[in-house]
Chains A and B, each alone.
Chain A
Amino acid sequence: MADKLEELESLVFAGKVDIPNTYSAGLVGSRFLIELRDNKKITGIKCPTCNRVYVPPRSTCKYCFGKLSEWVEVSNKGTLLTYAVAYQPSPVQPVEVPIAYGIVQLDGADTGLAHMLGEVDPEQLKVGMKVKAVFKVKKERVASILDIKYFKPLG
């Protein structure tokens, strides 16, 4: 045992943690995703007490803790609340960089929906601009948030 501990180089073990996951969308999430897939419609859920329409929908209102069940269809058009353009690639991105991300407040909703932006020059992006949802074609829609391909500038 000749090596002095302080002179010893530590071994490093490269590996991974790899456990597949499957997430239940639940009743509310499923209904939202099915509407995307089957009808290209974006739906929200309304709190009758607070008079807010939530997109994405959820089953509890964070302000009054009421149970939510009143579905409303919101427009597939809305206003860009903020944006960012990713130039840095990462393993979690669904498409190639650059990716423009945005938060869109759809007409009829009181919250914004985070998604990607497309068919737009990043230089042209502006908070407040009008955008609309572009859906994937029917056979590519699988009841996923990615059934919306991205939002693109209106007009």
Chain B
Amino acid sequence: MANRVAIVGIGQTYHKSRRPDVSQPEMANEAVRAALADAQLSMKDIESVFFSNMETFEGIYLPDHGMADEAGSFMKPGFKIASGGTSGIAAAKEAFHFVASGLFSIALVLGFEKHDAGDTTAAITAATTLAWGKGQARGAIGEFAKQASNYMKQSGATEEHAAMVRLKADRCACRNPYAHLRLGLKSVEEILKSGYLEWPLRLLDFCPQSCGACALIIASEEEARRITNKPVWIADVVAVHQEPFRAGAFCDLDGREPYSQDVASTKLYKRNGITNPRRDIDMAEIYEPSNWEEMFLCEVFHFCEENEGWKLIEKGITEIEGEFPVNPSGGVLATNPIGATPTIRVAECALQIRGDAGEHQVTRDVKTAVATALGGPNWTAMVLLRRSL
């Protein structure tokens, strides 16, 4: 049987719109140093490095090669994953495989994106080519605007509900010193006053472009027990991709195609004896590019019934103090360095399980948490974490 695998070190940068004080490699280095400090390890202890970054955002081909010194991968094995928005969990997934297989005892996962180097929306639009898909995408904004209008129509959610999700995200972000946008929003009305980016998606409904990095140190059971008395076990990982245009990406009104979230979570829950996700899991950090998406994702991850995602926010269930906290870090609505965004989801779940989330530690005791990533034309990657196996 494969080795058990745990997260033993967590580090992230402060996230900002612009980081003129550091180059891309130097920014990534901050997260690596933070993770090493957290695990009380030195770079010598790390055997391999797995990178997550999307080249077109910064216009750097083979960016991992440019930071071998700063990431500590110099003279070490590793490689880079680039599967769009899911990359940051996919890299953790590969590190998990390589440690579970016994090929390495201690591996580093490094997600990073320095969005001040380019135009994020343009880079996402460049997922299409002139041969197919031009006009299919106006970056992520267009996709999530359509998703929002669909969700509104389908579920009965209102713009007020979306605003409540944003308000929750901001309250959480204000308690998380690493979060990028900490706006101090006071009311739903304030959010409903923000202008539309693309109807019905408002500026405040959508995630920012952040510069930031997040590193995880992943170790075999033997090493994990030596390194820390608070290992966070990776119980399982799963990824599900989907053909780009079959289901109209983010809106399949006639329900002919299953959603990748549904397929991935069903598989993950089944393999891990989870029959009632809301009961068997204590919290989630999900990749929600918009507040509308958070409500919808709660449904397809089976945290609630279909078309009831908006009731979770209405009833306060997903708040930090709630029965099933979702994105107590402030989530992607507050912080979004894309290559690092999914890695941060894993990191935040691990902090919650350790009880080390500080001001944004959730009220309930977290023994099991799920981190998710969203990428491409609605691709999903998930990690299930546990305090004990």
Binding site for B on A (CB under 8 A): 11-15, 17, 19-29, 58-62, 65
Contacts and interface: CB of A to CB of B under 8 A. Distances in A.
Given A17-B56, A22-B116, A24-B116, A60 B29 contact: yes
Contact of B70 (A11, A21, A25, A60): A60
A70 B42 CA distance: 21
17 contacts: A13-B129, A13-B130, A13-B131, A21-B117, A23-B58, A24-B19, A24-B21, A24-B23, A24-B116, A26-B23, A27-B21, A28-B23, A60-B26, A60-B29, A61-B69, A62-B68, A65-B72
Nearest to A64: B43
A59 to B, nearest CB: 5
B103 interface: no
Nearest to B67: A60
Contacts of A13: 129-131
Contacts of B123: 19
Contacts of B116: 22, 24
B26 A59 contact: yes
A23 B25 CA distance: 11
Contacts of B20: 24, 26
Contacts of A20: 118-119
B126 interface: yes
A24 B126 contact: no
A59 B130 CA distance: 41
Given A22-B117, A24-B19, 5 more contacts: A19-B122, A19-B123, A24-B18, A61-B69, A65-B72
Contacts, number: 71
Interface string B7-27: 000000000001111111110
Interface string B72-116: 101000000000000000000000000000000000000000101
Given A28-B26, A65-B43, A58 B69 contact: yes
Nearest to B73: A62
A136 B119 CA distance: 32
Scoring A21, A22, A25, A60 by chain B CB atoms within 10 A of each residue's CB, the highest score goes to A60
A14 B130 CA distance: 8
Given A24-B20, A26-B22, A19 B70 contact: no
Contacts of A27: 21-22, 26
Contact of A23 (B23, B68, B129): B23
A65 B76 CA distance: 13
Interface of B: 18-26, 29, 42-44, 56, 58-59, 68-70, 72, 74, 114, 116-119, 122-123, 126, 129-131
Given A17-B56, A19-B59, A24 B119 contact: no
A70 B123 CA distance: 38
B29 A59 contact: yes
Contacts of A14: 130
Nearest to A54: B69
Contacts of B44: 65
Contacts of B122: 19
A127 B96 CA distance: 47
Contacts of B58: 21, 23
A76 to B, nearest CB: 24
Contacts of B42: 65
A15 B118 contact: no
Contact of A15 (B18, B22, B130): B130
A15 B25 CA distance: 31
A40 B126 CA distance: 41
A24 B19 CA distance: 7
A21 B23 contact: no
B118 A26 contact: no
Contacts of A62: 68-69, 74
Contacts of B43: 65
A29 B117 contact: no
Contact of B59 (A15, A21, A29, A58): A21
A25 B126 contact: no
A110 to B, nearest CB: 14
A117 B43 CA distance: 37
A55 B20 CA distance: 21
A28 B29 CA distance: 14
B126 A17 contact: yes
Given A17-B126, A19-B126, A60-B70, A26 B21 contact: yes
A54 B18 CA distance: 27
A59 B70 contact: yes
Contacts of B22: 24, 26-27
A58 B59 CA distance: 21
A21 B44 CA distance: 34
A60 B20 CA distance: 18
Nearest to A15: B130
